[in-house]
Amino acid sequence: MSLTAGVDVGSAAVKAVVMRVDEGEDRVVSRVAVRVRRRDVREVVAEAFAGAVEEAGTRELDYVATTGEGEDAPFATGHFYGMTTHARGALYLDPRARAVLDVGALHARAVAMDARGKVLGYKMTSQCASGSGQFLENIARYLGVSQSDIGPLSLAADKPETVSSICAVLAETDVINMVSRGLSAANILRGIHDSMAGRYARLIQSLGVDGVVFVSGGLAADDGLASALSRALSAGGRPVEIARHPLSAFAGAIGAALWGGFRRRKLGMGGAAWASSPIPSSSGA
């Protein structure tokens, strides 16, 4: 048994977990998510990690793994690529998954994997596409809609308006025109969800995936987007099921912690990899 931490550094938020890794009895001990909000990312990384360690009630960890943009974290034992960590985290949260759709603030990527978490292929949207979490957040802000209301409003739409542009700037212009025409926020959001879901479905279908696709990242909690994705995949004719979990946003951090435990066992590493008092401060010290 070992105690490992995973820190997933994204462009909009940093997620950190501490896990008890015990080959078949793995479990999440603590988890913390902190939004970046134009702050120094190093400070946010230190704050999230410190919060997860403090919540876990320990100052000794056997392995500290980072993923995403966290290569330079001073407290890390090792770093893993985001594709492998999201694949492993998805399998932990839903062992049926054979692909993961990671919807981030700047882009989305679909990753196919086997039952052991080995990555078999991946596809990614471009950063300028109107299919990112940041784009949806910008639209919601313009419409005066809270993040928690986006999904319910989209599900209540009766006449969704199509948003066809793949350019975020042009798509935002489309939305401004829709508002000037008096279209409801619900129909605008449903149209945006349908557009995003169509793009995501093409990523998944290009990998030839059947079975269960797990959705990770911050937008996994968006019921409107999940519904739109299910419709888009059904239209494609492939037997695909969408799966989500309350910890979907932490899939990358969970995968990093699990891979850290695996690497520690394979290398025969002993002793605590990180033991410090006090816990790193939010200033990164």
Please check whether residue 176 is in contact with residue 165, taking contact to mean a CB–CB distance below 8 angstroms: no
Q: pLDDT band at 71, cuts 50/70/90? A: confident
Do domains 2-88+249-275 and 95-244 share one topology? The answer is yes
Q: Where are the domains of the chain?
A: 2-88+249-275, 95-244
State the amino acid at position 168 in one-letter form. Answer: A
Residue 248 is predicted with a pLDDT of: 97
State the amino acid at position 274 in one-letter form. Answer: W
What is the model's pTM?
0.89
CATH 3.30.420.40 fits 95-244, yes or no: yes
Dihedral class, residue 245 (left if φ above 0, else alpha if ψ from -120 to 50, else beta) = beta
Query: Residues 112, 216, 258, 95: what is their CA dihedral angle, to the nearest 10 degrees?
Result: -60
Q: Lowest mean pLDDT of 62-71, 84-93, 96-105, 276-285, name the range.
A: 276-285
Bridge partners of 97, per DSSP, are 212
Average pLDDT over residues 221-238: 88
Please check whether residue 2 is in contact with residue 264, taking contact to mean a CB–CB distance below 8 angstroms: yes
Average pLDDT over residues 54-71: 92
Task: Output the CATH code of domain 2-88+249-275.
Answer: 3.30.420.40
Q: How open is the CA angle 253-256-261, to the nearest 5 degrees? A: 130
State the amino acid at position 98 in one-letter form. Answer: R
Mean pLDDT score of the chain, rounded to an integer? 88
- Cα(87)–Cα(150) distance, integer angstroms: 27
